[in-house]
Structure 1
Amino acid sequence: MVAIDSSARNIVMFLATAVFFGGTFVAAKAGLEYMPPLLFVAVRFDVAAVLLLGYVVLTHPREEWLPRTRADLAGIAAAGLLSIGLANAMLFLGQQYVSSAVASIVFSLNPILTPVFAAFLLSDERLTAAEAVGMVVALVGVAIVIDLDPVNLLASAGAVHALLLAGAVGAALGGVLIRRADASMPSTARTAWGLPVGALLCHLLALSQGERVAAIEWTSTGLVALGYVSVFSGVLAYIAYFGLLDEIGAIRTNLAFYLVPVVAALGGWVFLGETITPTTVLGFLVVFAGFAILNRERLEHELAGLRGSFEDDSSAGRACVVGESRWNEQD
C-alpha cells in the first residue's frame, strides 16, 4: 500500500511540475497586456519570495535554511542572478512578441544546454560525441520553430528570439554554477533565498528601462496572471519539482520539462486563442529527439533499472505462487 501511495504521489508531483511551469508561459502572455515585462517579473518574485521563504522557515530547521558558507552564498547568487532573475527577465521581454508555444520550446533548450556548460565548468563532466549530435539536433528543432532565416538574423524577429535564447542560456549556466558551488543547504532553501536576489535584479533592470508602477493596469486578468506566476509557478512548482528530485532523481524529473511546451501550447490555444502550427509541432518533435540523443545512455540506464525492478517483482510473485501451490498439494 505504501508503494502504491508513493507512486501515485510521484505521478501527481510530476504532472504538477509540468502543468505549473507550462502555465507560466500562458499567464505571462496574458499578464503582459497589463504590466511592463521587467516590472511584471520583479513583482512576481517579490510575492513568491515572501511565500517560499515563509514555507522554508516553517518546514526546515534553522541550520538548513540559513546560509553559512561561501558555497551557500555562491549557489544563491547563481540561482538568483541567472536561473531566476536573468532567465525570467529575458523570457518575459521576449514573450511580448511570440506565442506561448514558441517561447516554451525555445526555453526547452535549458536542459540541453546544461551539459555544454558542464563540460567546461565541471571537471567530472564531458560532452561526448553522441551528446554533441543531440545538441545540434535540438538546435535545428529550435531553428524550425522560430523559422530561422540567416539573412534576417539581426532583424526584429531575430532579436526577440535572441532574448529567449539568452534566457535559456542564463537558466542553464546558473544551474551548472549552482552545482559547481556545491553548497550544503537544501535546494528549496537556496531557491527561496535566490528569489529576492532575482527580484532585486529585475527591479533594477525595470528602473533602467524606465518602467514604472504607474504603468501597471490592475485588472482582474492581470491580477490572476500575477497570482499564477507568483504562487503556482513561483512557489508550488518549485516545491513539487524539488520534492520529485528527491524521490525519483534528476533524469526522470527533468522529463517533465518536455511536457511543458505541450501544456503551454494547449493553454495558449484554449485561453488566449493562439494557433498551433504544424511547423511548431515539427520543431518540438525535433527538439525532443535532440534531448533523447543527448540523454540516450542515461535513459537506457534508467529503463534497465526499471526492467530489473519489474523482473525482480515478477520473480518474487512467481515464487509466491509456486510456494502456495506446493502448500496446497501438501494439504
Structure 2
Amino acid sequence: MGKSSNTTLVILAFFAIYVIWGSTYLLNKIAVLELPPFMLASFRFVTAGLLIFGLARLMGIPITITKKQFLNTILAGFLFLSFGNGVVVWALRFVDSGFAALEISAQPLIILLMMWILQGKKIQPTSLIGVFFGVVGIYLLVSQKQIITKEGSVLGMIMIFACMISWAYASIFVAKADLPSNYFVNTGYQMFTGGIMLALMSVGFGEEWSSPLTWSRNVQWAMILLVVFGSIVAFTSFNYLLKRVSPEKVATSTYVNPIVALILGWYFLEEEITEQSILAAAILLTGVYFINTKKKIAIFERFKR
C-alpha cells in the first residue's frame, strides 16, 4: 500500500474516532435511559464482534490467532470495553453525555504521564502546552455549578476518571502487544471477549435483560448505530491508529469528542450549552493543535539557538 493510501486511511481513521465516537455519548445516553448499562454495553459489543467475524469469513480473512494473541485481546477487551466503556455507560445515568465526554478529554494528560512513568518517554514542551490548554478548558467546563450540583454527578465523575486510567493503560499496552495483525480481526476479538465479560458483570449486578423487540424505536436505532459505526468502524480505526501513530496523538480524540457530544446533546436531548462551555471547547481544540502538530519543533528550535 502506497504512502498516499496510508495517509488517507489515517485521516479517515481520525475522522472516525473524532466524530463518530463523539456521537456515541448521545447514543449511549438515549439507550441507558431505558436499558441497564452493562446489559446495553454487552449486547452492543457481542453483536459487533459476531458481525465482524461473519464479515471476515465472507471476505476470506482468517480469524485464527495464537494463544498469546487471544489472551492479549481478552486483556485489551476488558481494559477498553468491559471496564473502560461499560462503566462510562453506567455513569451516564448520573451525568450529561456532553459532560462525560468533557471529563474524558483529560485522557491525553494521563497517557503522557503513564508513558513517562512506565516507559521513561520524555514529555515534549509543546505537548505540555497542549495538555495545559486541555486542563484549562476542562476546568472551565466542570467548574460550572449547574453541572456539578446534579445528584450523583460526583460519583459519576469519579467512576469516569477510573475508566480514563483503564483506557490510557490499554492504549499503551496495545501499541506494543502481540495482537492479531489484521485490525478488523483484532477488533472482533476485543469486542466479543469484552462483551462476554460485560454480560458476566450484568448478571453479577442482577440486571434484568430484555429482547430488542421490546425496546423503543429510538433505542433500537441507537443500538444499530452504536454497533455498526461506534463499534465496528470507529474501534477498528482506533486499533489501526494505535499501530500507526503514537498513543498520545490517538488520545487527542478525547479533546474533539466533547465538542461533538456537546452539540448533539444540546440538539437532541436539550442539554445546556453555556458561553463558558463554548469558550472551553475552543481552548480544548487549541490543545489538540499543540499535541498533534509537527510545526511545534521549529518554534522551540529558535529558543535553543
Q: Which runs of 5+ in 1 are unaligned?
A: 304-331
For 1:185-264, what aligned pairs fall within 5 Å after superposition? 185-214=181-210, 218-242=215-239, 249=245, 255-264=252-261
- 1:166 maps to a residue whose letter is A
State the partner residue of 2:35.
Answer: 35
1:105 to 75, 95, 102: 102
Confirm or deny that 1:75 pairs with 2:84.
no
State the partner residue of 2:49.
Answer: 49
1:138 to 105, 130, 134: 134
Deviation digits for residues 132-167 of structure 1, max 9, x if unmatched? 565455344333322289xx99x8322111122122
Contact 1:17 1:240 in 2 (8 A): yes
- 1:188 maps to a residue whose letter is F
| CA drift at 1:201 | 2.0
State the partner residue of 2:277.
Answer: 280
| CA drift at 1:262 | 2.0
SS in 1 for 2:84: helix
| CA drift at 1:289 | 4.3
Contact 2:95 2:153 in 1 (8 A): no
Identity rate, percent = 19
- 2:168 maps to a residue whose letter is A
Contact 1:99 1:274 in 2 (8 A): yes
State the partner residue of 1:19.
Answer: 19
Q: What is the rounded CA distance, in whole Å, between the counterparts of 2:53 and 2:298 in structure 1?
A: 34
Relative to structure 2, which stretch is displaced further, 25-34 or 270-279? 270-279
Alpha carbons of structure 1 residues 128 and 28: separation in structure 2 relative to 1, 3 Å: same
2:116 to 116, 119, 140: 119
Q: What is the rounded CA distance, in whole Å, between the counterparts of 1:9 and 1:280 in structure 2?
A: 32
| CA drift at 1:6 | 8.3
Relative to structure 2, which stretch is displaced further, 3-12 or 47-56? 3-12
Alpha carbons of structure 1 residues 142 and 201: separation in structure 2 relative to 1, 3 Å: farther
Larger radius of gyration: 1
| CA drift at 1:261 | 1.8
Relative to structure 2, which stretch is displaced further, 87-96 or 105-114? 105-114
Deviation digits for residues 265-291 of structure 1, max 9, x if unmatched? 121122222221223233334444444
Alpha carbons of structure 1 residues 256 and 129: separation in structure 2 relative to 1, 3 Å: closer
State the partner residue of 1:269.
Answer: 266
Contact 2:108 2:131 in 1 (8 A): no
Q: What is the rounded CA distance, in whole Å, between the counterparts of 1:156 and 1:274 in structure 2?
A: 17
SS in 2 for 1:225: helix
| CA drift at 1:174 | 0.9
Alpha carbons of structure 1 residues 36 and 215: separation in structure 2 relative to 1, 3 Å: farther
Q: What is the rounded CA distance, in whole Å, between the counterparts of 1:205 and 1:55 in structure 2?
A: 28
Alpha carbons of structure 1 residues 113 and 78: separation in structure 2 relative to 1, 3 Å: farther
Q: CA RMSD in A?
A: 3.5
Deviation digits for residues 173-223 of structure 1, max 9, x if unmatched? 111122342446333322211112211221122222221114985111111
Say how many residue pairs are matched: 293
Deviation digits for residues 291-310 of structure 1, max 9, x if unmatched? 455x277563699xxxxxxx
Q: What is the rounded CA distance, in whole Å, between the counterparts of 1:132 and 1:253 in structure 2?
A: 16
Relative to structure 2, which stretch is displaced further, 237-246 or 36-45? 237-246
SS in 2 for 1:127: coil
Q: What is the rounded CA distance, in whole Å, between the counterparts of 2:6 and 2:114 in structure 1?
A: 34
Relative to structure 2, which stretch is displaced further, 45-54 or 5-14? 5-14
SS in 1 for 2:206: coil
Q: What is the rounded CA distance, in whole Å, between the counterparts of 1:261 and 1:196 in structure 2?
A: 27
Contact 2:98 2:262 in 1 (8 A): yes
Contact 2:134 2:284 in 1 (8 A): yes
Contact 2:180 2:186 in 1 (8 A): no
Q: What is the rounded CA distance, in whole Å, between the counterparts of 1:22 and 1:297 in structure 2?
A: 21
Could you state the TM-score of these two structures normalised by the residue count of structure 2? 0.79
Could you state the TM-score of these two structures normalised by the residue count of structure 1? 0.74
Deviation digits for residues 75-102 of structure 1, max 9, x if unmatched? 3133201012211112111111222221
